[in-house]
A = this chain, B = another copy of it.
């Protein structure tokens, strides 16, 4: 397999932009990433467009990638819309990586773009709630929140029983994420929070409070992937190498099976990259709800089973610690426009490795890992990617 590099990366601000179209968000992200790479749209050999909501919210059930990208000069290249719930963006990255690795393209573009704000909030919730088997579980739960947060709440309760973690620990995750997000000009929420504020916010699904849950928002992110030859042609001064790009679907058929898809994917990714968790300098992970971060510490091998709270309290995962997690603010503070999130994580890590992150820069970062999960099936994450980037 050929080596693949990130030659350009760009993320739009995330937030509630009622009057900005998906097309405009996608255009900003692709224009930005191509400019960053010094590449023209006519040089792109494959485009993967990650999006989940355009069917539900805009009735654009088909060719959403072509429609969203029609102003970008990219028509002509093969454009494929890909979907894996909240992991749609990193799935697009995974396939762009494969296209360059396979030699079907010298330059490939991964785009994640999502417009979630809608005059009819129930439509937005229906998108989140279709991250599981709709026929079996239904698509909505009455409209006070996404039914999908009940899945996260159940996982959180099992984690509390197993490890002794408390709601305060979950609140600390939100506090850390918002502290980081305050340093990220593209974050949706940039005000620091206190543990008390998190705990006192409205209960969404016990033990989750509103400020432990990622917000609804809009945004887009894109990355240009390139072969070594293309990199030389583009004259990229500052490339980042893809050390591993792993995608898995859920394997657990019962909730109490021990090994999860993220843990298996992480093991595969470390093998592929020839490194271990101790070699990772900075991580972006999928904290759609705050407890997820503690669970993923274990799945990535950053903490032993039961050791996640201790890792958090040690400060190791805070900025300035051994392995900062979610320096961007994560889903909780940077925001979570579903299909955009996976690409946004990888833009953040690319910029961390290039030393472009200003006040939230992880000094000297050489190896970066992203974990992005989506959907729920048979007691496990329906899709998870682990991507490792390096200098």
Contact indicator A251/B75 (Cβ below 8 Å) = yes
Contact indicator A66/B99 (Cβ below 8 Å) = no
Tell whether A53 is near chain B: CB-to-CB under 8 Å: yes
Contact indicator B103/A249 (Cβ below 8 Å) = no
Measured CA separation A59–B83 after assembly (Å): 14
**Given contacts A78-B247, A249-B77, are A59 and B103 in contact (CB under 8 A)?**
no
Contacts of A101 in B (CB 8 A): 102-104
A137 → B minimal CB distance (Å) = 10
Measured CA separation A83–B84 after assembly (Å): 12
Contacts of A130 in B (CB 8 A): 55, 59-63
Contacts of A377 in B (CB 8 A): 63, 66-67, 70, 75
Measured CA separation A101–B101 after assembly (Å): 9
What sequence of 0s and 1s flags, for each residue 235-267 of chain A, a beta carbon within 8 Å of any chain B beta carbon?
Answer: 000000000000111110100000001000000
Contact indicator A80/B251 (Cβ below 8 Å) = no
Measured CA separation A104–B127 after assembly (Å): 30
**Which residues of A199-240 have CB atoms within 8 Å of chain B's CB atoms?**
none
**Which residues of A107-150 have CB atoms within 8 Å of chain B's CB atoms?**
126-127, 130-135, 139
A interface bracket (residues with beta carbon within 8 Å of B): 35 or more
Contact indicator B250/A66 (Cβ below 8 Å) = yes
**Which residues of A70-88 have CB atoms within 8 Å of chain B's CB atoms?**
70, 74-85
**Which residues of A255-303 have CB atoms within 8 Å of chain B's CB atoms?**
261
A342 → B minimal CB distance (Å) = 12
Contact indicator A1/B103 (Cβ below 8 Å) = yes
Contacts of A53 in B (CB 8 A): 61
Contact among B59, B77, B134 for A58, CB-based, below 8 A:
B134
Tell whether A56 is near chain B: CB-to-CB under 8 Å: yes
Contact indicator A76/B133 (Cβ below 8 Å) = no
Q: Which residue of B has the minimal Cβ distance to A63?
A: B375
**Given contacts A56-B55, A81-B82, are A378 and B75 in contact (CB under 8 A)?**
yes
Q: Which residue of B has the minimal Cβ distance to A77?
A: B249
Tell whether A333 is near chain B: CB-to-CB under 8 Å: no
What are 30 sample pairs from A and B whose C-beta atoms fall under 8 A apart? A1-B103, A56-B61, A58-B134, A58-B135, A59-B126, A61-B126, A61-B127, A61-B130, A62-B83, A62-B84, A62-B131, A62-B374, A62-B375, A63-B83, A63-B84, A66-B377, A66-B383, A67-B377, A74-B249, A75-B250, A76-B249, A78-B94, A78-B247, A78-B248, A78-B249, A78-B383, A79-B383, A80-B84, A80-B247, A99-B102
Chain A interface (Cβ within 8 Å of chain B)? 1, 21, 23, 47, 52-53, 55-56, 58-64, 66-67, 70, 74-85, 91, 94-95, 98-99, 101-104, 126-127, 130-135, 139, 247-251, 253, 261, 374-375, 377-378, 380, 382-383
